Structure 1
Amino acid sequence: MADRALRGSGLGAKSFEDEVGIEFAARQDVGFDCARGHHFSVTFAAEAELPTLWECPRCGSEAKRSDGVVAEVKEAKPARTHWDMLLERRSIAELEELLAERLDLLRAGELGPGTPDRRTA
């Protein structure tokens, strides 16, 4: 059993290659500060779009850039409601006409809970 044991360094634990002849990509370090006073830096590629917020590796809170760059505020579109989408398809006059038809069917007993709509059947 001892004959088959691997000796020396562990598999994959260390690389014996040196950095001679390797050209690294251009990089830049960006500093961040969190609300709890932690400072850290993150390395990015030189051509990367830099974020304005990053999660603090020590406490997990949101950290802002140390150089004072803040994010641009984007104009948010108002949420479209069901009513807005309905008004895109029908006018108020058409909706009042449909409501009147349905109320007539309901009052005549042709439409109601447990009663299938006979016009569509």
Structure 2
Amino acid sequence: MGSGSAIRGSRVGAGPMGEAERGESAPRIRIAFYCANKHEVIPSFSHEAQVPEEWDCPRCGFPAGKDPENPPAPPRTEPYKTHLAYVKERRSDADGQAILEEALAKLRADRAAMDAAIKAMSN
């Protein structure tokens, strides 16, 4: 083991940067936002910045507003739809039945042609 008084992982001259090195920070204001789950978020903004009407809650992801009594409504999520659900939206049952009959007729015709070809080859 090496000896010494240096803190491991540091180097000479490393230290916290203060305002002397960075310059003065801009004046800030803190605005409270409230989400539908009653979470309170208090981000800080520059005095010169335009404060948004809504802010995303970091705890639940819902939108948060400035009024604690009337927070914005959570976004409405649509349930997952299957391919069949989308097809049923576009087509009626009668359309589906007609397409099915057309496909079955084509399959039956193809099968009859194949059976005839096999029968011709075996003779």
TM-score by length of 1: 0.40
Structure ranking higher in strand proportion: 1
Structure ranking higher in helix proportion: 2
TM-score by length of 2: 0.39
